[in-house]
C-alpha cells in the first residue's frame, strides 16, 4: 500500500458485496503475501481466514447507517475484542464468536450462518474444496460439546469474514438502540463519544450500564463529559481500553 496516498486504497483493497451492503476492505491478494491467496481474499463472502488486527475495515454507508461512523465502531471493537471466525471462550468462559459476539445457547448458535469445508479427493493429488452450510443439528452438537468440554474445539465450523462483520454491525445497531433509550441527545453526540458509549453498552449490556453507572449516566445527561470520562473506568477492563474510552469521551470530534 506504499504506492497510494490513501492507506485504504491500492493493491489488495477492493469493494466486496455482502448481504448487508458493500464493504471496502483489504483482501491480501497483492502478490506479496500468501495470506488469503487461495481463498479469493480475506473479505470475500466465502472466506473464513479472519482479518488481522492491523487491517482496517472500511464500511460504506447504507440507508440504515453512516459508513464512516460504523467503521469507527467496528474497528474499535475489533481491536479490543479480536476477530474470530470460530467459537471460542472469553475470560469468564462464555462461548463467543466473531467480534465479541456472545452465544448464550445452542439455539442462538444455530441462528448463525455457520459453514464447514468439504474436501473431496479427485485423484492425482487434486482436491475439490467447497464450503457447505452446516445443519442445525451440527451446529447445536458442536456448541453443546464445546460448552461441556473446552478441549473439544468446534474448529470445523466457522463463519465467513463477511458474516462476522455483518454480525458486529448488527450488534452495534442493537447497542445504539439501547443507548438512545438512555440518552435523549445521543444522536447529537460526536462520533468519538458515541463510539465510547457503544463500547460501554456492548461490554456491559444496556441494563448493567443503566443500573451500575449512575454517576456516569447523570454526567452524560447534563453534558459533563469530564466527569463522564472519570466515571467510565471499569475495573474488569484493561488499562488501554479504559484510557481509550476516557479520551474518546473528552473528544468532540
Show Cβ contacts of residue 27 under 8 Å, excluding neighbours closer than 6 positions: 12, 13, 14, 16, 36, 40, 41, 42, 43, 44
Residues 248-252 have a mean pLDDT of 97
Evaluate if residue 30 carries a pLDDT over 60: no
Answer yes or no: do 104 and 195 share one domain. Answer: no
Answer yes or no: do 105 and 147 share one domain. Answer: yes
Largest CA distance in the chain: 72
Answer yes or no: do 233 and 148 share one domain. Answer: no
Show Cβ contacts of residue 243 under 8 Å, excluding neighbours closer than 6 positions: none
Please tell me the distance from the alpha carbon of residue 155 to that of residue 46, in angstroms, as a whole number.
Answer: 16
pLDDT (0 to 100) of residue 46: 46
DSSP states along 5-53 = SSTT-STTEEEE--TTS-EEEE---SSS--TTTTTT-TTSTT--S---T
Say if strands 13-16 and 23-26 run parallel, antiparallel, or are unpaired. antiparallel
Evaluate if residue 28 carries a pLDDT over 50: no
Q: Which of 151, 176, 201 is the last residue of a domain?
A: 176
Answer yes or no: do 58 and 148 share one domain. Answer: yes
> 237, exposed or middle or buried, with CB in 10 Å at 0-12, 13-18, 19+?
middle
Q: What is the dihedral of CA 64, 101, 37, 62, to 10 degrees?
A: 0
Please tell me the distance from the alpha carbon of residue 123 to that of residue 157, in angstroms, as a whole number.
Answer: 26
Q: Which of 12-26, 46-60, 123-137, 235-249 is predicted most confidently? A: 235-249
Answer yes or no: do 68 and 150 share one domain. Answer: yes
Domain housing 42: 1-176
* E-state strands within 83-181: 84-89, 95-98, 101-102, 115-123, 126-133
Answer yes or no: do 193 and 119 share one domain. Answer: no
Q: How many domains does the chain have?
A: 2
Q: Which of 122, 152, 176 is the last residue of a domain?
A: 176
Evaluate if residue 212 carries a pLDDT over 50: yes
Q: Which of 176, 202, 220 is the last residue of a domain?
A: 176
Evaluate if residue 5 carries a pLDDT over 50: no
Evaluate if residue 45 carries a pLDDT over 50: no
Please tell me the distance from the alpha carbon of residue 19 to that of residue 61, in angstroms, as a whole number.
Answer: 14
3-state secondary structure of 68: helix
pLDDT (0 to 100) of residue 226: 98
**pLDDT range class, residue 49, cuts 50, 70, 90:** confident
pLDDT (0 to 100) of residue 26: 42
pLDDT (0 to 100) of residue 122: 62
Answer yes or no: do 104 and 168 share one domain. Answer: yes
Residue 155 or 28, more confident = 155
pLDDT (0 to 100) of residue 38: 25
pLDDT in tens, 64-92: 999 999 999 999 999 999 999 999 999 88
Show Cβ contacts of residue 19 under 8 Å, excluding neighbours closer than 6 positions: 162, 166
Instruction: With beta carbons less than 8 A apart as the criterion, state whether 51 and 39 touch.
Output: no
Answer yes or no: do 117 and 209 share one domain. Answer: no
Residue 151 or 232, more confident = 232
Answer yes or no: do 202 and 163 share one domain. Answer: no
pLDDT in tens, 160-210: 999 999 999 999 999 999 999 999 999 999 999 999 999 999 999 999 999
**pLDDT range class, residue 246, cuts 50, 70, 90:** very high
User: Half-sphere exposure of residue 95, counting CA atoms within 13 Å on the CB side?
Assistant: 24
pLDDT (0 to 100) of residue 70: 96
Answer yes or no: do 50 and 20 share one domain. Answer: yes
Answer yes or no: do 133 and 21 share one domain. Answer: yes
Grid cell of 201 as nine digits: 453498552
**pLDDT range class, residue 7, cuts 50, 70, 90:** very low
pLDDT (0 to 100) of residue 127: 62
User: Half-sphere exposure of residue 238, counting CA atoms within 13 Å on the CB side?
Assistant: 6
Answer yes or no: do 100 and 197 share one domain. Answer: no
Instruction: Read off the pTM.
Output: 0.80
Report the mean per-residue pLDDT for the chain: 83
- Alpha-carbon distances of 26 from 53, 54, 69, 141, rounded to whole Å: 12, 11, 19, 34
Amino acid at each position: 500500500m506504499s504506492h497510494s496516498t490513501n492507506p485504504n486504497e491500492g493493491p489488495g483493497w477492493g469493494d466486496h458485496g455482502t448481504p448487508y451492503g458493500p464493504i471496502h476492505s483489504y483482501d491480501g491478494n497483492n502478490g506479496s503475501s500468501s495470506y488469503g491467496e487461495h481463498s479469493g481474499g480475506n473479505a470475500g463472502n466465502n472466506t473464513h481466514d479472519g482479518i488481522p488486527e492491523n487491517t482496517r475495515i472500511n464500511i460504506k454507508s447504507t440507508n440504515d447507517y453512516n459508513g464512516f461512523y460504523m467503521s469507527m465502531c467496528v474497528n474499535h471493537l475489533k481491536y479490543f475484542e479480536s476477530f474470530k471466525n470460530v467459537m471460542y471462550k472469553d475470560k469468564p468462559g462464555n462461548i463467543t464468536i466473531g467480534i465479541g459476539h456472545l452465544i448464550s445457547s445452542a439455539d442462538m448458535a444455530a441462528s448463525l450462518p455457520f459453514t464447514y469445508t468439504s474436501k473431496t479427493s479427485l485423484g492425482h493429488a487434486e482436491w475439490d474444496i467447497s464450503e457447505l452450510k452446516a445443519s442445525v443439528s451440527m451446529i447445536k452438537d458442536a456448541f453443546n460439546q464445546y460448552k461441556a468440554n473446552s478441549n473439544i474445539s468446534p474448529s470445523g465450523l466457522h463463519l465467513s469474514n463477511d458474516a462476522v462483520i455483518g454480525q458486529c454491525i448488527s450488534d452495534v445497531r442493537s447497542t445504539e438502540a439501547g443507548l438512545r433509550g438512555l440518552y435523549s441527545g445521543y444522536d447529537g453526540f460526536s462520533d468519538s463519544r458515541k463510539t465510547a458509549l457503544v463500547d460501554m453498552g456492548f461490554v456491559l449490556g444496556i441494563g448493567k450500564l443503566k443500573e451500575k453507572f449512575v454517576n456516569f449516566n447523570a454526567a452524560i445527561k447534563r453534558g459533563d463529559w469530564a466527569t463522564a470520562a472519570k466515571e467510565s473506568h471499569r475495573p474488569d477492563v484493561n488499562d488501554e481500553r479504559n484510557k481509550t474510552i476516557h479520551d474518546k469521551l473528552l473528544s468532540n470530534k
